[in-house]
Amino acid sequence: MTNTWVNQAIEKIEADFQRSAETHLIKLEIPSLDGIDIYLKDESTHPTGSLKHRLARSLFLYALCNGWIREGTTIIESSSGSTAVSEAYFARLLGLPFIAVMPAKTAKKKAQQIEFYGGKCHFVDHSSQIYAESEKLASELNGHYMDQFTFAERATDWRGNNNIANAIFEQMQKERHPIPKWIVMSPGTGGTSATIGRYIRYQGLRTQLCVVDPEHSVFYDYYHSHDKNLTCKEASKIEGIGRPRVEPSFIAGVVDDMQKVPDAASIATMNWLEQLIGRKTGPSTGTNLYGVLKIASQMHKDGEKGAIVTLICDPGERYLDTYYNPQWVDDNIGSLEQYHKQLEQFNQTGHLA
């Protein structure tokens, strides 16, 4: 066997995993929602600060086992930032060069973090250019293009093996509604939704999966039209989620329902959550939670009881100069007033009117 380097690389990732802890499942206290419990799986506490830590680990293991990565292979990825931060961490763990191809307006903090882990950032003007540019770099450098937007749905063991769905259902075991009515997730690659949806079906659980898409993204329309060639001109304004093309890693068949969430609602809900838990989260967490509150409001109206679970995808500290800067929000998202009012009313009534 000549692949001792590959074996050692896999062992290093497995040892890193062994040293890691499961992320917390946080229960929200919302007095106006009688009998409806809302939970957030806090993926911001991974060593690299987002749910993409799980994906990066899976993608590296998948590529190593496939023989796509060897000693010295340059790793290239197309990313809006979070995946690249996590992959830079694993590339450094294995001593591999890493290049992230990302849109120029990605949060500066993320670029700094990629560089902190020894990675390089390669910027393009528009988010639709990242794919071709990544392929070009990979062939020029004889490197490996990880391609999260193709492989995210298949690199993770969806039947279980400590995946995020497995962890959620285990952590819910002692709750009064241990099997959630709904799990809500926003799609970037769609990989997390695919893992959760397949797991639910495979385990024969009653839980339904709702996927929440931001304004500038094709997933919602694709879900209803099945047209794989859909594109949208404007890039998503909610970092980490929403795509300008139908990504191969988005699996519509595992999704029970989708909602379109206005960007202003996402940011207002992100602010609302900060009031509730005293912590800043990223904007996609706001998208997730707005979707949850919509469902909770409907359940409340119908007199239903049960649990709803969603994710804190990443921490807000990355976005202090953007989503947490009122001037930036005004210029880029618009007024949040309508949704701040709506959420205040929700606090009083449990209805998201």
Ligand X SMILES: *Cc1c(COP(=O)(O)O)cnc(C)c1O
Complex with ligand X: residue 73 or 284, whichever CB lies closer: 284
Rounded least distance, CB 190 to ligand X, Å: 5
Q: CB of 311: closest distance to ligand X in angstroms? A: 7
Please, which residue, 207 or 310, has the CB nearer to ligand X? Answer: 310
The tokens describing 67, both together, are 């023989």
Containing H/E element for 308?
A: strand 306-312
Interacting residues with ligand X between 81 and 100 (CB under 6 A): 82
Q: x/- string (CB under 6 A) for ligand X, residues 31-50?
A: -------------------x
CB of 50 to ligand X, least distance (A): 5
Q: What residues contact 103, with CB distance under 8 A and at least 6 apart?
A: 80, 123, 124, 125, 126, 127, 130, 235
Q: Is the Cβ of residue 143 or residue 191 nearer to ligand X in the bound state?
A: 191
Task: Return the closest-CA partner of residue 194 out of 75, 79, 10, 58.
Answer: 58
Which residue lies nearer to ligand X by CB, 36 or 210? 210
Per-residue contact track with ligand X, 180 to 199, x per CB under 6 A? ------xxxxxxxx------
CA distances to 19, 93, 122, 189, 213 from 323, in Å: 33, 32, 24, 22, 18
Query: In 3-state terms, what secondary structure has residue 73?
Result: coil
Taking CB under 6 A as the rule, which mask of x and - marks residues 299-328 in contact with ligand X? --------------xx--------------
Q: How many CB atoms lie within 10 A of CB 73?
A: 19
By beta-carbon distance, which residue lies closest to ligand X? 240
Within 227-246, the residues that bind ligand X by CB under 6 A are 240-241
Q: Other CB atoms closer than 10 Å to residue 123's CB: what's the count?
A: 15
The two structure tokens encoding residue 213: 């898409």
Contacting residues toward ligand X, per CB under 6 A: 50-52, 82, 152, 186-193, 240-241, 282, 284, 313-314
